[in-house]
Amino acid sequence: MIRVASVGSQGHVERTSCLLCGRATFDPGRGEGVWAHGVAGGRQVLICPDCQRTRPRWDEQLDRCRTCGATRLSLVLGDLVCRACGAAAPAEGGGPPEQG
Ligand SMILES: [Zn+2]
Ligand SMILES: [Zn+2]
């Protein structure tokens, strides 16, 4: 007989919310749009559809691809990967930690 370990949690699940308004990603929308993925300060962040509509400069806080300038970045194993052009670069924060 195979013993199946019962896992209470799904592991390290980060609770993610909108970078700008703090609204939780699992908040059910009414078909209002798509959450924008991006990276800010070396962290994967999300921008809710509301903020994309109501804040014309919502993407100013996002890191941009150094190759094409797009904000559609993903963090993959510590690298910033651009979903627009496919360029990959080490994420910020690789230097010495800030004193602070
Ligand atoms: Zn928002
Ligand atoms: Zn790019």
Compute the distance between CA of residue 73 and CA of residue 83 in angstroms, rounded to an integer: 6
> Which pLDDT belongs to residue 58?
94
> Which pLDDT belongs to residue 11?
44
> Which pLDDT belongs to residue 9?
44
pTM, to two decimals: 0.68
Q: How many whole angstroms from 19 Cα to the centroid of ligand 1?
A: 6
Q: Which ligand is in closest contact with the Cα of 47? A: 1
Q: Cβ(33)–Cβ(52) under 8 Å?
A: yes
> Which pLDDT belongs to residue 86?
96
Q: Cβ(34)–Cβ(49) under 8 Å?
A: yes
> Which pLDDT belongs to residue 45?
92
Per-residue pLDDT of the chain (100 residues; tens, 9 = 90+): 666 655 444 444 456 899 999 988 865 556 768 889 899 988 899 999 999 999 999 999 999 999 999 999 999 888 899 999 999 988 765 555 556 5
Compute the distance between CA of residue 43 and CA of residue 19 in angstroms, rounded to an integer: 10
> Can you tell me whether residue 11 is helix, strand or coil?
coil
Q: How many whole angstroms from 59 Cα to the centroid of ligand 1?
A: 12
Q: How many whole angstroms from 92 Cα to the centroid of ligand 1?
A: 24
